[in-house]
Chain A
Amino acid sequence: MEERILTFIKNDLLDDGQLDLTPEDDVLTTGLVSSLAVFRLIDFLEQTFRVRIPAEEMTIENFISVAAMSNYVRSRQTEQQV
């Protein structure tokens, strides 16, 4: 999952496949991913991982890094199965 998110960020959002980006990097507060691009990322996560992300859960904690996003998406997946 992390790999797919990283690839999406690099190729689709930043247009730079060669970028050195790790799952732990802060992509939000550094401005690396623009605040508007996060919403495209959310679309991507919803479609790719079949989760619904409600507006109230679009928080900095859930989206600060690729690792945080993966954790969050997994927790949504589990929740939705229940």
Chain B
Amino acid sequence: MNPAHLTTAQLMLWTGQQLAPRSPQYNSVFTFELHGPLDTDRFRRSFGRLVEECDNLRTVFSTTGGEVRQQVLAEAPRPLEFIRWSQSPASLEAWVAERGSQLLDLAVCCYDAVLVELAPDHHLFFLNQHHLIVDAWGVSVQYRRLSELYAAGAGAVEGNQPPGFRDYRRELPEGPIAEVPDYWSGRGAVVPPQLFGRDNTGGESRSPRVSVTLPDHLMRGLDALAAHPRVRHWTWNMTAFSVLSALLTAYVYRLTRQRELALGTPAAHRATPAERDLPGMLIEMLPLYGEVRSGDSFLQLIERQKESVNAFLRAARPGVIRPELAAGYNVVLNYITATFGDFAPDVSCRTRWHSPGHADPGHHLRLQVHNFDGGEGLTLEFDLNVAVFTSADRERVPAQFLRLLEGCLEDPERSVDAVDLLDDAEKAALCRLSRGAEGDAPAEDVLHLFEARAAAAPGAIALAYPGGRMTYGELDAAAGRLAGFLDRKLAAEGQIIAIHLPRCADLLVAILGCWKAGHTYLPLPADIPDGRLDHILRETEAALIITDAAHGRRVGDRGVTVLHLDEDRPLLERHAPLAPARRRTAPAYVMYTSGSTGVPKGVVIGHAALANYIDYARRRYVKGPAPVFPLFTTIGFDLTVTSLFTPLVCGGRLEIYPEPPPGTPDLAVVQVMEDDRCDVVKLTPSHLALLRGQDFRSHRLRTLIVGGEQFAADLAREIREAIPPAAEIINEYGPTEATVGCIVQALSGATPLTGAAVPIGRPIPNTEAWILDGSGGLVLPGTPGDLYLGGVCLAEGYWKREDLTADRFLPHPFAAHGRLYRTGDRARWNAAGELEFLGRQDRQVKWRGYRIELDEVENLLAGHPAIMSAAVELVEPIGDADSPPDRFCTRCGLPANYPSASFDAEGVCQLCRGFADYEEKARAYFRTPEDFRALFADRPVDRGAPYDCIMLLSGGKDSTYVLGQLVDMGLTVLAFTLDNGYISDQAIDNIRRVTHELGVDVHFGSTPAMNEIFVDSLQRHCNVCNGCFKTIYTLSTQLALEKGIPYIVTGLSRGQFFETRLTEELFWQDGMGDSKDIDAAILEARKAYHRADDAVSRLLDTSAFADDRVFERVQFLDFYRYTDVTLEEMYAYLDRRLPWVRPTDTGRSTNCLINQVGIHVHKKEKGYNNYAFPYSWDVRIGHKDRAAALEEINEEVDVAAVERIMQEIGYFAPADSYDRHQLLACYTAAEPLDPEDLRAHLRHFLPDYSLPQRFIRLEEMPLTPAGKVDRRALAEVASAQGAPTTDVAPPEGEIEALLAEIWGEVLGRERIGRHERFIDLGGHSLTAIRLAARISDTFELEVPLHRVFELPTIAQQASYLEETMLRLLAESETTAPEQSVDTTA
């Protein structure tokens, strides 16, 4: 039997198997437990007969030249095995599991069949088949047929013989059917969900199965729901499928909060009786779309799902499957309607489908539903991939799904969000975690705690600063005097007092004095920008500004009373200290933070919240003797609050590090560590990154408190090694709105750090941390959600921003009183009961339909051993399509956004610079008119051909000029014009007039396939010219062959030579440059060009090009290779000699109306005009001047006309417009790192779409005054650095060049870099098959398909090929010494 191609569905399975050659993931293992008297010999013969009848059982698979084929063997490849079971009945299950996970050798036999005799009247029929040959329904067909054959005594049973799978297959086209039904097209935005926040990037296939039988009450409930008029569908099974697919969609939504979702679900393709009798593999797994809308009830969801199921089934025709569709789902619903029934009247059967323990790695969660024995209940089987689900999750998932189903069946009108997926115990545990420890809230505020210290030990040192010290007593007294002054000065308590001071002792005097007088302090750091200062003073209506002489000038004339603590000291000295002990009611401070909108907002923190935190910090962070804290961070950031107050409430000391002079970087953190005077240091991860590589192990440091930013595990590990072993690192999380730090994780030396970031831990006492879903419900542990905070720690709100306060501080959903603060951060509970921070909600971006967590990429990148710190942003790229390029080469006019364009200091592009080096060689390529005439010395017409040459006449100036010249030379010319349907009327008139005037015959070529060729050209090249040119070459060559004409003359401009024929590399290589070599190279390229697979080769007859001789029989001559003529000369000639009129109906440069469609699409998709490159060459070689070229490439196109033509030819721009943003990674490291290494590092953890396109090494990370990464500065860095430099490294060496050529053919792309990845270039499994085949062919080596994915770049494949070739060579030398002697002899 002839080998045949695979169906696309089979090919996808086969590819999947190649990618995981050792995984039994596609074993379809069935057992049939037979009770009753069974004639085993008859059974054996019946099975033999079944294999004879079912061609799918005799099908095997093999690869030749890398292409897989299936073949039906004439004989049964393997008999039924018979085993008499002698072991314990219990061990049978293990045997089935073991046997069912054995790999089948697809080239030999795709099934494994065993009859096990357990007892005289008790048998087990085991049948394992590879999914390539069968689906579940097909197994039922085989089973029924087996039972018929058995009943008939294993003899022939005519009439019921199953039809051949071969015939079915033959009706399918090879490859997917061309049209994607509307149902699946344009759904690029539906992305696979991240279940439990995990992915299966490692291609894990282990997926243990958990089976549950639907309990009776749920089965009855399902029956009742199925009868509901809004639910009921054609049949019970259709109804149940709609309901279960709606519920699975709802469940995934509840797990992930993703509202739009695709489930993979098999289209059975068994509508008619004949199809239902086929034993083969007919199913195609296709995405079924579902959407959970806000506020949906189950009933509403089911109704919508029913419609989607209808649309799905209407669209699901055999052959629609294609690999891209599989990328949209990772949750699968497999609803199987097949039933099996009893084997014989006296032999009952229990049918089971066993998991081989593995499943397709792309199927993270599979739910299979069936009722094989046709009984009362449904069986639900969950296959759960181990990379995504922990063993605890695997227990949870079925229970949660059933709980959701139960909730739906109890009341289908209730909201999808309303059903609790946690059981009571789980819920109680989660609430316990969320509430944190209950502690006694401190009875006293921070001021009282300080005053108590001052009273107890007035002589102890409180503050140390350059040149001085202050005791607790002195500080308390100074603050008291200030309070006395304020008390007199201000009419009432509870005013806002702005403090505009540098880091100094007076800062503490000011704050404490302010509190003593019952006011609220407002920190205005010394370096606060003017605009911000104005805004804050205006909004707060501060009653007074406390500053010093040096800073007072900035705030002097703002209409607010100013107190200079230094100059006005004599004034203060006169005031008696205000007596302590009043209970404070005014807030402790108002701290302004930057809002995401850019308008700063004042967070109002009360004394109770502050006291709760400081009291916690005192008890938790301070161990041993009274500690020294440094003050070295800005007072405008609440991170600093820890250092300001914690030492002063426990008898410790504050070591003050003043700001550096304005304009110099604040490197106080380095000084702090060098000085080694402090025990407890509070800082940001960005600060820590500055300290990398230093050794503090012998320092006095006892505790590092890290806050303000996400803390990368890698940094934590490194720092942990660099500090004293007994020192502790505390990771503190807390927005300003929840007072400094409210969730805390301690890292001791032994704490394992598994994730990319340090967990943020658990809430501190009197604090709550809840992870809620979008509708305010508790999310499941492990599931990402929105982090809400509650408890004593919460701010009172935003100063004078009631709207914003109401928006962010919400009524507590689970308590009668209290509020929750919506942080805008995403987090989840990990298995250890700690919170993991997952990034800002606004740091989750969607890019080209994929969801990317910028923080995740950033953390992983920071984990690279050579990287000290990293930041990842989605930035606008250089040369955005919507903004025209702002620079053009000052010499040739090449735009700055032309790929890899780079300009030197004079604005000259690298092409112009390079050209200077080989200009001479390039000029040698050009010839003289005499050379041209010499070609015709032996004139073809004299040898009997009707014409000397064909001339390709477009009707434009260049080709018309050529035609005139040819005639003037006395040649007999046949003009060839392609009527592509869009030549302008004026151009046609020109052609007719000119050819008439010259007495030249003109042949108008045309093809009905023209529009299809245009569309293909637009899709492949973003222009129409490529397709049009190739059509012209093809049709004119046919004409030349037909008429025996040896030459075709083109009117290509010299600039176009460089676009289509010549590459600069031709002139670089040593030994090249001889125009003979160049001609030879061009000829080779032409051969490949004509043989490449595209619309022209599919739609026109290109068979002539298969034979190399055609390139000798018909040669192309480029007229302008032999003639150099300026534009003026050309026009002068045309005006003088020919009745040629400049066209006015197309734009100046062209005679073809469709040309501007190409220009428009090219500009839109690639950002620059497709003529930019050839015109730059026209300028470079002196054919055009720069101004003229620029004018033409910057000409506006008539978009309305373009859209009309696109409609006519049937071209539709890619549905979801191409997202041009780039993922940019900035990092600091000792030296620049290879971007490919960095990508390889990230690829261990991330899917390809999450990998940054650009990597930029920075000397240091730009930081905001608060010590956090300055993200706005990064985008500026990106644009300052210009176009990406990491792209497109050309292939190196012969092997890579050959590979690049093959890649180009297979992918239909040009200029592929040696480090570009196959998948990134649009490769998928089908193209991988072609690639592997062609590589194997070219190099005469067998390249397994999975290598294409394992070695995804040209560079990697080349080194693999090289190694393999060397190894084979070495082997042949050692195994065949004589032969090797022969060859060397």
Interface positions of A (Cβ within 8 A of B): 12-16, 28-29, 31, 34-40, 42-43, 55-56, 58, 60, 63
Mask of B246-285 contacts with A, CB within 8 angstroms, 1/0? 0000000000000000000000111111101000000000
Complex CA distance for A36 and B241, rounded to whole angstroms: 12
Residue A60 contacts which of B233, B272, B276 (CB distance < 8 angstroms)?
Answer: B233
Contacts A13-B271, A36-B270, A38-B234 known; 13 new A-B pairs at CB < 8 A:
A13-B272, A16-B273, A28-B235, A31-B235, A34-B272, A35-B235, A37-B271, A39-B310, A40-B272, A42-B314, A55-B307, A58-B310, A60-B234
B232 / chain A contacts, CB cutoff of 8 Å:
60
What distance in Å separates the Cβ of B493 from its nearest Cβ neighbour in chain A? 67
Is A55 touching B311 in the complex (CB atoms < 8 A)?
Answer: yes
B313 within 8 Å of A by Cβ? yes
A27: nearest chain-B partner, CB-CB: B234
B237 within 8 Å of A by Cβ? yes
B268 / chain A contacts, CB cutoff of 8 Å:
36
Q: Name, among B269, B271, B311, the residue most crowded by chain A CB atoms within 10 Å (CB to CB).
A: B271
Using known A-B contacts A13-B271, A39-B271, determine if residue A34 contacts B310 with beta carbons closer than 8 Å. no
Is A39 touching B273 in the complex (CB atoms < 8 A)?
Answer: no
Is A14 touching B273 in the complex (CB atoms < 8 A)?
Answer: yes
Residue A43 contacts which of B233, B237, B274, B314 (CB distance < 8 angstroms)?
Answer: B314
Q: Name, among A12, A43, A56, the residue most crowded by chain B CB atoms within 10 Å (CB to CB).
A: A56
Is A28 touching B274 in the complex (CB atoms < 8 A)?
Answer: no
Complex CA distance for A11 and B639, rounded to whole angstroms: 80
Complex CA distance for A10 and B431, rounded to whole angstroms: 62
Q: Name, among B235, B270, B308, the residue most crowded by chain A CB atoms within 10 Å (CB to CB).
A: B235
B235 / chain A contacts, CB cutoff of 8 Å:
28-29, 31, 35
What distance in Å separates the Cβ of A57 from its nearest Cβ neighbour in chain B? 9
Is B307 touching A35 in the complex (CB atoms < 8 A)?
Answer: no
Q: Name, among A14, A34, A42, A63, the residue most crowded by chain B CB atoms within 10 Å (CB to CB).
A: A34
A63 / chain B contacts, CB cutoff of 8 Å:
234
Q: Across the A-B interface, give the 8 residue pairs with the lowest CB-CB distance, nearest first.
A: A55-B310, A36-B271, A37-B271, A55-B307, A35-B234, A35-B238, A58-B310, A55-B311
What distance in Å separates the Cβ of B273 from its nearest Cβ neighbour in chain A? 5
Q: Name, among B270, B307, B314, the residue most crowded by chain A CB atoms within 10 Å (CB to CB).
A: B314
Residue B313 contacts which of A15, A36, A56 (CB distance < 8 angstroms)?
Answer: A36
Residue A15 contacts which of B237, B238, B274 (CB distance < 8 angstroms)?
Answer: B274
Interface residues of B in 224-249 (CB under 8 A from A): 232-235, 237-238
A36 / chain B contacts, CB cutoff of 8 Å:
268-271, 313
Interface positions of B (Cβ within 8 A of A): 232-235, 237-238, 268-274, 276, 307-308, 310-311, 313-314
19 A–B pairs (Cβ distance < 8 Å), ordered by A: A13-B271, A14-B272, A14-B273, A15-B273, A28-B234, A29-B234, A31-B235, A34-B276, A35-B238, A36-B269, A36-B271, A39-B271, A39-B313, A43-B314, A55-B311, A56-B310, A58-B310, A60-B232, A60-B234
B314 / chain A contacts, CB cutoff of 8 Å:
39, 42-43, 55
Kindly count the residue-residue contacts between A and B in the assembled complex, taking CB atoms under 8 Å apart: 51
Helix, strand, loop or mixed for chain B's interface?
Answer: helix
Complex CA distance for A39 and B234, rounded to whole angstroms: 11
A39 / chain B contacts, CB cutoff of 8 Å:
271, 310, 313-314
Complex CA distance for A35 and B270, rounded to whole angstroms: 10
B269 / chain A contacts, CB cutoff of 8 Å:
36
Is A15 touching B234 in the complex (CB atoms < 8 A)?
Answer: no
Q: Name, among A14, A16, A60, the residue most crowded by chain B CB atoms within 10 Å (CB to CB).
A: A60
B238 / chain A contacts, CB cutoff of 8 Å:
35
Residue A35 contacts which of B237, B273, B308, B311 (CB distance < 8 angstroms)?
Answer: B237
Q: Name, among A37, A39, A40, the residue most crowded by chain B CB atoms within 10 Å (CB to CB).
A: A39
B273 / chain A contacts, CB cutoff of 8 Å:
14-16
Complex CA distance for A31 and B238, rounded to whole angstroms: 11
Using known A-B contacts A28-B235, A60-B232, determine if residue A15 contacts B272 with beta carbons closer than 8 Å. yes
Complex CA distance for A31 and B271, rounded to whole angstroms: 11
Complex CA distance for A35 and B235, rounded to whole angstroms: 7
Complex CA distance for A6 and B156, rounded to whole angstroms: 35
B276 / chain A contacts, CB cutoff of 8 Å:
34
What distance in Å separates the Cβ of B239 from its nearest Cβ neighbour in chain A? 9
B313 / chain A contacts, CB cutoff of 8 Å:
36, 39
Complex CA distance for A14 and B234, rounded to whole angstroms: 17
Q: Name, among A12, A13, A38, A55, the residue most crowded by chain B CB atoms within 10 Å (CB to CB).
A: A55
Residue B271 contacts which of A28, A34, A56, A58 (CB distance < 8 angstroms)?
Answer: A34
Complex CA distance for A43 and B268, rounded to whole angstroms: 17
Complex CA distance for A35 and B269, rounded to whole angstroms: 11
Complex CA distance for A15 and B912, rounded to whole angstroms: 73
Q: Name, among B234, B268, B271, B310, the residue most crowded by chain A CB atoms within 10 Å (CB to CB).
A: B234
What distance in Å separates the Cβ of B1359 from its nearest Cβ neighbour in chain A? 51
B183: nearest chain-A partner, CB-CB: A55
B237: nearest chain-A partner, CB-CB: A35
Q: Name, among A36, A42, A56, the residue most crowded by chain B CB atoms within 10 Å (CB to CB).
A: A36
Residue A56 contacts which of B233, B237, B274, B307 (CB distance < 8 angstroms)?
Answer: B307
Complex CA distance for A37 and B274, rounded to whole angstroms: 12
B310: nearest chain-A partner, CB-CB: A55
B236: nearest chain-A partner, CB-CB: A29
B308 / chain A contacts, CB cutoff of 8 Å:
55
Complex CA distance for A18 and B802, rounded to whole angstroms: 79
What distance in Å separates the Cβ of B1071 from its nearest Cβ neighbour in chain A? 64
What distance in Å separates the Cβ of B1049 from its nearest Cβ neighbour in chain A? 52
Residue A37 contacts which of B237, B272, B310, B311 (CB distance < 8 angstroms)?
Answer: B272
Using known A-B contacts A34-B276, A55-B310, determine if residue A40 contacts B234 with beta carbons closer than 8 Å. no
B234 / chain A contacts, CB cutoff of 8 Å:
28-29, 35, 38, 60, 63
What distance in Å separates the Cβ of B240 from its nearest Cβ neighbour in chain A? 11
Complex CA distance for A29 and B276, rounded to whole angstroms: 18
A12: nearest chain-B partner, CB-CB: B272
What distance in Å separates the Cβ of A42 from its nearest Cβ neighbour in chain B? 6
Complex CA distance for A35 and B454, rounded to whole angstroms: 85
What distance in Å separates the Cβ of A66 from its nearest Cβ neighbour in chain B? 15
Complex CA distance for A46 and B314, rounded to whole angstroms: 12
Complex CA distance for A38 and B235, rounded to whole angstroms: 11
What distance in Å separates the Cβ of A77 from its nearest Cβ neighbour in chain B? 20
Complex CA distance for A18 and B268, rounded to whole angstroms: 27
Complex CA distance for A58 and B272, rounded to whole angstroms: 19
Complex CA distance for A28 and B218, rounded to whole angstroms: 25
Complex CA distance for A29 and B237, rounded to whole angstroms: 11
Complex CA distance for A36 and B237, rounded to whole angstroms: 11
Q: Name, among A28, A31, A58, A63, the residue most crowded by chain B CB atoms within 10 Å (CB to CB).
A: A58
What distance in Å separates the Cβ of A29 from its nearest Cβ neighbour in chain B? 7
Complex CA distance for A34 and B236, rounded to whole angstroms: 12
Complex CA distance for A36 and B307, rounded to whole angstroms: 14
What distance in Å separates the Cβ of A23 from its nearest Cβ neighbour in chain B? 18
What distance in Å separates the Cβ of B423 from its nearest Cβ neighbour in chain A? 36
Complex CA distance for A37 and B311, rounded to whole angstroms: 14
Complex CA distance for A63 and B561, rounded to whole angstroms: 84
What distance in Å separates the Cβ of B265 from its nearest Cβ neighbour in chain A? 13
A41: nearest chain-B partner, CB-CB: B271
B237 / chain A contacts, CB cutoff of 8 Å:
35
Complex CA distance for A42 and B311, rounded to whole angstroms: 11
Complex CA distance for A53 and B233, rounded to whole angstroms: 16
Complex CA distance for A34 and B308, rounded to whole angstroms: 19
A56 / chain B contacts, CB cutoff of 8 Å:
307, 310
A63: nearest chain-B partner, CB-CB: B234
A13 / chain B contacts, CB cutoff of 8 Å:
271-272
Complex CA distance for A38 and B316, rounded to whole angstroms: 13
Complex CA distance for A29 and B310, rounded to whole angstroms: 17
What distance in Å separates the Cβ of B606 from its nearest Cβ neighbour in chain A? 56
B311 / chain A contacts, CB cutoff of 8 Å:
55
What distance in Å separates the Cβ of B871 from its nearest Cβ neighbour in chain A? 47
A35 / chain B contacts, CB cutoff of 8 Å:
233-235, 237-238
Complex CA distance for A37 and B272, rounded to whole angstroms: 6
B313: nearest chain-A partner, CB-CB: A39
Complex CA distance for A43 and B315, rounded to whole angstroms: 10
What distance in Å separates the Cβ of B934 from its nearest Cβ neighbour in chain A? 65
A43 / chain B contacts, CB cutoff of 8 Å:
314
